[in-house]
Copies of this chain bind each other. A is one copy, B any other.
Amino acid sequence: MGNRGITLRSEDFSAWYNDVIMRAELADYAPVRGCMVIRPRGYRIWELMQAALDGMLKETGHENAYFPLLIPQSFLAKEAEHIAGFAPQTAVVTHAGGKELEEPLVIRPTSETIIYSMFSKWIQSYRDLPLLINQWANIVRWEMRTRLFLRTTEFLWQEGHTAHATESDAEAEALLILRLYRKFMEEWMAMPVVTGLKTESEKFAGALRTYSCEGMMQDNKALQAGTSHNLGQNFSRAFDVQYQTEEGSRDYTWNTSWGASTRLIGGLIMTHSDDNGLVCPPRLAPVQVVVVPIWRKDEEKSAVLEAGQRVEADLKKAGLRTALDDRESMKPGAKYFEWEGRGVPVRLELGPRDLAENKVVVARRTGGKAPSPMTDIGATVTGVLEELQQQLFEDALERREEHSHRNLDRSGFIELMEGQGGFVYGGFCGGARCESEIKEKTKATIRVLPDSEFRSPEPQDKCMWCGNKAVSEAVWAKAY
C-alpha cells in the first residue's frame, strides 16, 4: 500500500487498478453478479468519449439508430459460427408479463442478427447502399471472471453495422473504422495502439476478417481496445439481405460491424494513472482544471475567493471544464490529495501572496508547479493542457517501445512471458497448433498480424516457435 492509501502498481497491479477506480469514484460494484455502476465521474469520461467518437462517425457519414434489446433465440442460430461463439454467454428471458414465452428471448450479446433482419427489409436496390448505421447501446455477456470496466456482465458500447455493394467497399469500411478508432485512441485517450489483423482463432464469431487496435497497459499486458470486422456475406446470406444491382441482377450485400466499449475507460486508467490515483488525459477529463483558493485569516478570505471566481470565469471563457474548490471544511493539502486522486490534469493554487503579485501557481497532475501571471490564465492553462495531452501520449509510446521485443527465440520468449512480459514481434508459421501451444505454455496470444507501418524493419523469416517458414510477422502478448 502506498502512502496515498492506494496499492502500489509494483506491488499488485490489479489491486492498484481497483483502488484507482474507487478513489476517483469512477465506478462501483453492483448488487448483481459481474455488473458495475458507472458513477458520475466515470460516466462523464464516457460521455466525452462518446461525443468525440460520435462526431467522427457522423463526419464519415454514419447515422445513429436504435434496435431492440431482446433478440429471438432462433435469430442467433442463423449464423453457425455466431451462435457457437455467443450462445454460452447469453442471458435468456423465459418469462414476461406473468407468462412463459413461446420462444425465449436473448439479451443482445451483440446486434448483428437483429440488425441484419431489419436490413433485409430496408435494402432493395444498389441505391440504398452503402447503409451506414451505428448504435449506442448496452450489451450483456455472461462472463465468468469480471473486472470493473474491462470485463463486466453488462457494458455500454457503440456498434456499427454497415452494408455495401461490393467486397472491396466493405473492406474499405472496415479499415476506415480501424483508422478512426486508432485516431480516437491516440488523439483523445493519448493511448498508442498497434493495429492489424486477428488470426482465425481470435477473430469475431461470424466474421471473414477481424481487425483490432491493441494498447499496452502499464503491466505490459495488451488490451484489445476496439475491433472492426469484415463480415463478408455471412450475415447477409443468413438473413437474406439482397439488393438489385445497377445491372438488374440480385446479390447479397457485403457487411461490416465494429465496436468500442466502456472497456476503453479501463484502458485509459491503466495507460496513464500512477500511485497517486487517476491520471486523465486533458481532452477527456471531466474537470480539466481546478482552482483552489487558499486563505488563513478571515480578512484574506473574500479577496482570495473573489479572485478565484474571476480566474474560474476566465478559464470557462477559454472553453475549459473547471471546478472551484471553495469548501471551508477542508485544508488545501486535503483538497490537492482529492483532486489528484480524481485525475484532474491542472490545479491552480491561489493564496494572498499570489494575489498580491497577480499570479497563480499552476500545478500539473503529472508533477511540477510554477507561478504564472493571472492575466491570460485561460490561454496559459489551455497551452499546458495541450502539452500534457501530448506528453501522456509520448510517455505511453516510449513505454510501449521499451517493452516491445524483436528477434527473440523460443526460450527467450518463454522467459520474457514468465517475467515482465511485453509485446513480442516474431515470425509466425500461420499454424493454429503453434498458437495454441504458445497460449498453453505462456498464456500469450497473437494480438495482431501487424499492419505494415507496425512491422519490424527486418521481420523474422521463420516461426518464432516451430522454426518453420513464417507466413507473416505476429505480435504476441498476454492480454486482458
Contacts and interface: CB of A to CB of B under 8 A. Distances in A.
Contacts of A44: 63-64
A70 B32 contact: yes
- State the majority secondary structure of interface residues on A: mixed
A30 B92 contact: no
A121 interface: yes
Interface string A1-44: 00000000000000000000000000010111001111110011
Interface stretch (A83-91, A201-209, A309-317): A83-91
Interface stretch (A95-103, A367-375, A388-396): A95-103
A67 B105 contact: no
A274 interface: no
Residue from the set A63, A92, A104 with the largest chain B CB neighbour count within 10 Å: A92
Contacts of A46: 66
Contacts of A121: 28
Interface stretch (A137-145, A214-222, A420-428, A439-447): A137-145
A97 B154 contact: no
Contacts of A118: 28, 30, 37
Size band of the interface chain A makes with B:
35 or more
Contacts of A306: none
B93 A107 contact: yes
Contact of A88 (B91, B97, B117, B156): B97
Nearest to A75: B31
A133 interface: yes
A71 interface: yes
Given A37-B68, A44-B64, A97-B142, 11 more contacts: A30-B118, A31-B72, A32-B105, A35-B70, A37-B67, A40-B63, A88-B97, A93-B93, A94-B95, A127-B329, A137-B138
Interface of A: 28, 30-32, 35-40, 43-44, 46-47, 63-72, 75, 87-98, 104-105, 107, 114, 117-118, 121-122, 127, 133, 137-138, 140, 142, 144, 153-154, 156, 329
21 contacts: A31-B117, A32-B68, A32-B70, A32-B71, A32-B114, A35-B69, A37-B118, A38-B65, A38-B66, A40-B64, A40-B65, A43-B63, A43-B64, A44-B64, A68-B154, A69-B107, A69-B138, A70-B154, A90-B97, A92-B95, A93-B107
